[in-house]
Amino acid sequence: MWAVVASTVGMILHAIEERSSWLGKIVSAVLGIAWAMSTYMIVPVLIFEEDGVFGSIQRSSALLRNTWGEQIVSGFGFGLPSLLLAIPGVLLGLVGYRFHPLGFLAAVPYFLVLSAVMSAVRGIFTVALYRYATEGETPSGFSRGNFKDAFVDKSNRY
């Protein structure tokens, strides 16, 4: 059911973006960010709390809002490491293309593995973050700073 809801929301946001002027594109982007934030911990909530899709969306949003507030510090993310790890794949594709027009396809397995690894790392972090949010304790294998530095704690803002 989660896949149906996520796909529907994605299609609606895409339709708004495609059929709108620049203002619609901005609105679509803001709604997309709000959706991504509110569903950031949806998978662990769905798995561990068994509350249904819409209840899990509300719970995921509440966990993020209540524990860290609405400001995520931009210093923590997976985009930069993914970008840096993509460089060897791009080089492999360029070298392959130099030898044959279809040689760039040599980089496809690299990007498939990179995508799988980064997806797994994000999933592991999300589950650890969920456990930190619900239990208040740092999961084994992580330091408290991994979570304290990743988000701004609402209780310490004032």
pLDDT by residue (tens digit) across 95-108? 998 998 888 898 89
- pTM (whole model) above 0.85: no
pLDDT for residue 73: 41
The pLDDT, as a whole number, for residue 150 is 55
Residue 119 has pLDDT above 90, yes or no: no
Q: Compute the distance between CA of residue 142 and CA of residue 16 in angstroms, rounded to an integer.
A: 40
- CA 116/CA 107 separation, integer angstroms: 14
